[in-house]
Amino acid sequence: NCLRWHNNESRQHILKKLDICIELKELKHDFITEAIFINNSRADVVDLTTGEIYEILCSEEEKDFYEKIKNYPKCFRIIKVKV
């Protein structure tokens, strides 16, 4: 339940990630930011309570989003968040 980000993320991206984390914390959910899976794919926010991944799109194109989520474990529901 902590916020992590990378230097290459935009301010807009980080603030949206923070908004999601605040909401999940208020709901008393457990979450991970910048979760790294066995295949080295990385998700913005993983809600461990509901099994959902929040993927934040700022400057990424739709095709990049769909390519990225192919590598996520199938047990998660993916939520696309446009900024």
Q: How confident is the model at residue 42 (pLDDT cuts 50, 70, 90)?
A: very high
Q: What is the pLDDT of residues 6-37, one digit of tens each?
A: 888 899 999 999 999 999 999 999 999 999 99
The arrangement of strands across the sheet holding 31-36 comes to: 31-36, 42-47, 52-57, 77-82
Residue 49's contacts (CB-CB under 8 Å, 6 or more residues apart) are 24, 27, 28, 29, 30, 31
- pLDDT score recorded for residue 5: 85
Query: With pLDDT > 70 as the criterion, what percentage of the chain qualifies?
Result: 100
2 pLDDT more than 90: no
Q: SS3 sequence, 46-70?
A: EECCCCEEEEEECCCCHHHHHHHHC
Rounded average pLDDT over 53-81: 93
Section 29-48 average pLDDT: 96
